[in-house]
Structure 1
């Protein structure tokens, strides 16, 4: 059963309905009518309440979760990895392998068309380096090539791209970025932070590519039972517009909470949006305006995050801070006064400290109840900053999948500070509401990888990472459901399986409460229900005869 039409009633029975209500109750069954949940209870109770015409789905012991919410991802960018060359799927192991794949793409691509690569990580390839501009130029001087590092903050380009961007040896570094040169003053093709983020906006995608990317991304979301996303920004203003049109026209059905921000020239876009008066929470249940967002530091794996103490791996490096406190305060004052939720990308403790100081000033000067200001990532967050976040009632949006994929590099770069990275246990122990997101395409969109990491604190390579930050399975699930809904002011309509809430549910292909911990990353959705309709199925949920 799958389609766009409502079935009068759908009964899910003989399962493990994990409600994520206040008591974390687990029931056998639930009943949906239209787009709402109308009953939760035992299978017998649901059978007695359902109408004779109801469709009955036998869960056969499988778990049902509230529709999962990715509280921080880049929907459009994630889709782009699915329509371009992605170094992660399948994994590219060497520079030679990357160059070979690019050579094949060059042969099939018309002259002048941009060739894009995502997910490259110099630490994961055999050579432990970036491709050189000479290697890329040897493939083509007629096609611009743009290779985006896995963090999204650093790019490697060929000479055709530099020409397209009008970058030469005399081009000055932008604030918060570097156009890398070698010891002879020659361009290496590597663009770091704002040098990459700001310049790459000059090479846009077509609208056709944008719509295709969003549709491809949604297919992946439904495979994991994700029904809502908090979009943390695309490349530019155009991607924000296309995402909104795609939602309005039902090209995509995923519920979107769209942050006011972009990767390229985020400040300009955010300031422009603030002048429109379109405030946070404007919209409907499928597309809503989210917080005003800025970047305050860089990439945790670059590494370019702003830290109070130098990197363990480099005693001269403190990372990049994008704004002074006064600049950040000036931009956010209008947003806070205007009723916007605000948030920042802040990975390093110096960036987190700066943002929390700004929030403290704003709340002192312009008090606001239930502001729900957020902070995206909250990477290195020691106890003093945890306490300040609690006092200010700031909502951290963590990325448990980050240390799963990048943990070894974090240990190398930040040393003992890793015990406070993505510190879920410490934060929850302080009664701070914590949500979670993938930051896809930076890491996998699979929420069960994040849940696994939050529960075990074991990296993909088996390294123990900040073991004291382990949390319970139920707490991890709550980060991807109720808490994520709370962070977008939606806890009254979604985030738990309760009577009266929207019928968004993830029917898993196993029992998450009874499978082994090591099986968690392998979990997928057997079926995904969005707004009371089955939008995806593996055909593993049996429809009973009536």
Structure 2
């Protein structure tokens, strides 16, 4: 992947494929300067920055010309942590989010409406219920669902993606009974008689291997919806951080890309347990194509069983060594303070990969009290965090987490000021990818209701936030040599915004819109 077209000096001898003119361009070079004029693109690469009055001389037959109308052009946005197939599934599943259902009664009613349109025995899938947002303040269970779904198995996925609820028909279909033991890294909730309630934690792999997969047409429809969402929000590159990523998923995404169902570039993070699948194919870190390449190896640290798993001592160090022997840096999911602390300590004790400037990553690092912050700073790892959670989940944090602990949540300002490298991810489908919302909360620390979460000192400036969202993502992908700036020699991935974010009051950012998205020199979306 990491080979980009050279010989840019030949640009003057060949017609340009695309000209974006009448534009306010922020190249995002070492200093924040803006260029008013045009951008010339050839063979997917930026080859020229010129004056507005040069348009007529550069335009040739076959050249596409995009008049930005005085709008702002930035390098394309980059989501450094999402789950692409999960997003596709969410977009074709029954909407169970807090905006759709506010109580268990409403949830049952919503499910029953789909039952009436679904043949008996066919699985019903819902996504996004939030136990903390339901009037009853609890997860649904099989009893809540059985009365409206007697013959259809049901799977409702929690908004976090780390829990789900099955009805009785669903439990029978996947073989979960009273005597079924908990998986090593999952948990089956049971009632006082030891019978499953239907609530399962960290059991996606277990359940998904026992139920029918989405049909090809369903999955394709979901991917098309996901692609449209990403492009309409200016996302030119995304990193798929699914821990279950294996060679089959790689082949599936490759097929979608080859058939023009996914326009954004995809960095594919293989699950740590599946590295040999790729090594056996001769694929190493960075291997693939300019549209799909291998990124960090993904490791999930979970506390669902009451203990950190895998063991943050010998077991985690063994995984780090195995990844490094195969040439892969790692990206480790760590949310809670004690988990972040343990992961940072392990990374500090383990040599970083000797592969250029690519370092290990900690995903989320949601809670960072002082002792965990010190460890993460000393580890020198990159942190891929989620400012969108401040906006979309801020009220829930304020209800559920003691007020004194709000100051330790998503400490973007402190991490940036300490010199740690940062990138932003949506963790979609947990939240829908929206870079402008993420930037707003990274700067203001404001929730959707306008409340301040924690200290305003944990925000960053507008320029810093934009650089993290764009260039931090490129560094997280090991791709900063050819994306994240607008200059000759860089990939022609750009976003056109109707407002200049550097010259707009932060309170008016909700009026900022994506007008066009350009990937590989092609205008792939216009609003």
Pair in the same fold by TM > 0.5: yes
Whether the 8 Å contact between 2:243 and 2:299 is mirrored in structure 1 is no
Residue 356 of structure 2 is aligned to residue 378 of structure 1: no
TM-score, normalization by structure 1 = 0.86
Deviation at 1:82, TM superposition (A): 1.0
Structure 2 contact 41–48 (Cα < 8 Å) conserved: no
Q: Residue 8 of structure 1 aligns with which residue?
A: 16
Match status 1:451 vs 2:439: yes
The answer to whether residue 424 in structure 2 is matched with residue 436 in structure 1 is: yes
Matched residue SS, 1:162 = helix
- Which residue number in structure 2 is paired with residue 227 of structure 1? 236
Cα distance change on mapping 1:279 and 1:418 into 2, 3 Å: farther
Instruction: Say if 2:128 and 2:159, in contact at 8 Å, map to a contact too.
Output: yes
Q: Distance in 2 between matches of 1:255 and 1:285?
A: 7
- Secondary structure of 1:28's partner? strand
2:270 is the alignment partner of 1:260: yes
Counterpart pick for 2:475 among 451, 461, 486: 486
Following superposition, the deviation at residue 47 of structure 1 comes to 3.4
Which deviations, in whole Å up to 9, do the C-alpha atoms of 1:252-276 show, x marking residues without a partner? Answer: 2210000112xxxxx6445655665
Matches within 5 A, 1:287-298: 287-297=292-302
- In 2: Cα distance, 1:355 partner to 1:174 partner: 23
Equivalent residues in 2 for 1:43-442, closer than 5 Å: 43-44=52-53, 46-47=54-55, 50-53=58-61, 54-88=63-97, 91-193=100-202, 195-203=203-211, 204-233=213-242, 237=246, 238-261=248-271, 268-270=273-275, 272-273=277-278, 278-297=283-302, 321-363=309-351, 370-411=357-398, 412-413=400-401, 415-442=403-430
1:527 alignment partner, SS class: strand
Q: CA deviation at 1:537?
A: 0.8
Cα distance in 1 between the residues matched to 2:283 and 2:245: 18
* 1:397-448 deviation line (CA, Å, top 9, x unaligned): 0100112122233343354333232211111112222110101110121111
Structure 2 distance, partners of 1:330, 1:113, is: 42
Q: 1:462 to 1:321 in 2, by over 3 A?
A: farther
* d(CA) in 2 for partners of 1:520, 1:484: 21
Q: Does the residue aligned with 2:194 lie in a helix, a strand or coil?
A: coil
Give 1:383 deviation, angstroms: 4.3
User: What is the CA distance between 1:50 and its match in structure 2?
Assistant: 2.6
Q: How many residues align?
A: 508
Q: Distance in 2 between matches of 1:188 and 1:504?
A: 48
1:48 to partner: Cα distance: 7.4
Measure the CA separation in 1 of the matches of 2:238 and 2:268.
8
Q: What is the rounded CA distance, in whole Å, between the counterparts of 2:511 and 2:99 in structure 1?
A: 17
Q: Which string of whole-angstrom CA distances, capped at 9 and with x for unpartnered residues, describes residues 140-194 of structure 1? A: 232211111110001111011111111111111223332111223232110122x
1:523 aligns with 2:512: yes
* CA–CA distance in structure 2, aligned partners of residues 56 and 129 of structure 1: 55
Indicate the SS of the match to 1:372: coil
Q: Structure 1 residue 510 and structure 2 residue 499: aligned?
A: yes
For residues 122 and 7 of structure 1, do their structure 2 counterparts lie closer, same or farther at Cα, with a shift above 3 Å needed?
Answer: farther
Q: 1:414 to 1:500 in 2, by over 3 A?
A: farther
- Tell me how far 1:292 sits from its aligned partner: 0.8
Where in structure 2 are there 5+ consecutive unaligned residues? 1-13
Q: In the alignment, is the contact (CA less than 8 A) between 1:61 and 1:510 conserved in 2?
A: no
1:476 pairs with 448, 461, 465, which one? Answer: 465
Q: Report deviation, 1:18.
A: 2.0
Residue number in structure 2 paired with 1:264: none
Change (3 A) 1:367 1:483: closer
Q: Partners of 1:188 and 1:352 in 2: how far apart?
A: 31
| Structure 1 residue 489 displacement after superposition | 1.1
Contact map agreement 1:270 1:293 (CA 8 A) in 2: no
Distance 1:248 1:52, change over 3 A: closer
Give CA deviations for 1:261-317 in whole Å, capped at 9, x if unaligned: 2xxxxx64456556655321011210001111111025xxxxx6x9xxxxxxxxxxx
Residue among 28, 51, 56 paired with 1:20: 28
- Tell whether the 8 Å contact from 2:176 to 2:196 is kept in structure 1 after alignment: no
Aligned CA RMSD, in angstroms, stands at: 2.6
Unaligned runs of 5+ in 1: 1-5, 262-266, 299-303, 307-317, 539-546
Q: TM-score, normalised by structure 2?
A: 0.89
Return closer, same or farther for 1:273/1:144 CA change in 2, 3 Å cut-off.
farther
Q: Distance in 2 between matches of 1:132 and 1:381?
A: 33
**Compared with structure 1, are the counterparts of its residues 408 and 329 closer, same or farther at alpha carbon in structure 2 (3 Å cutoff)?**
same
Measured after TM superposition, the shift of residue 234 of structure 1 is: 7.1
**Distance in 2, Cα, partners of 1:104 & 1:496:** 49
Paired residues of 1:325 and 1:355 also in contact (CA < 8 A): no
Seen in structure 2, the aligned counterparts of structure 1 residues 147 and 240 have a Cα distance that, compared at 3 Å, is: farther
